[in-house]
């Protein structure tokens, strides 16, 4: 089974993301990192990212679907293992006050087991 590591930028998730839980089925629109990645993508390449999720502006050129194997928050270049990507705090929505601080990351890494048809 092939696994891809997808970078989910914080601003994309903040806008219209959903809870992403290990074991859940997900569909992403992605653009693959170029090979070699070059300076623009050097930090993502260091984190072993294969593709970047993008559904705004130009949107991802490729649709991928699979099962989430692992999720990580990324903060200052460090990977922080998570069991899920939490619900995003959307602008203007009335949400109950959190009982604990909601961590803010630079983005998320999603390891996705691709489905083959």
CA atoms of 115 and 1, how far apart (whole Å): 8
**What is the extent of the structural domain holding 76?**
17-28+59-88
CA atoms of 42 and 26, how far apart (whole Å): 26
CA atoms of 114 and 27, how far apart (whole Å): 10
> Does 52 map to a domain?
no
Q: For the whole prediction, is pTM greater than 0.85?
A: no
> Does 22 map to a domain?
yes
> Does 63 map to a domain?
yes
> Does 65 map to a domain?
yes
> Does 67 map to a domain?
yes
> Does 73 map to a domain?
yes
> Does 93 map to a domain?
no
pLDDT per residue over 15-31, tens digit each? 676 778 899 999 999 99
CA 102 to chain centre: 17
Counted domains in the chain:
1
Greater pLDDT, 6 or 14: 6
> Does 74 map to a domain?
yes
Where does the pLDDT of residue 56 fall: very low under 50, low under 70, confident under 90, or very high at 90 and above?
Answer: low
């Amino acid at each position: 089974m092939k696994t891809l590591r997808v970078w989910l930028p914080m601003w994309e998730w903040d806008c219209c993301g959903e809870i992403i839980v290990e074991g859940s089925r997900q569909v992403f629109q992605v653009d693959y990192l170029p090979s070699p990645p070059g300076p623009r993508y050097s930090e993502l390449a260091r984190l072993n990212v294969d593709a970047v999720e993008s559904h705004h502006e130009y949107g991802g050129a490729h649709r991928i679907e699979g099962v989430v194997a692992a999720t990580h928050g990324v903060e200052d270049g460090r990977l922080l293992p998570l069991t899920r990507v939490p619900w995003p705090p959307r602008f203007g929505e009335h949400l109950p006050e959190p009982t604990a601080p909601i961590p803010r990351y630079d983005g998320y890494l999603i390891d996705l087991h691709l489905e083959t048809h």
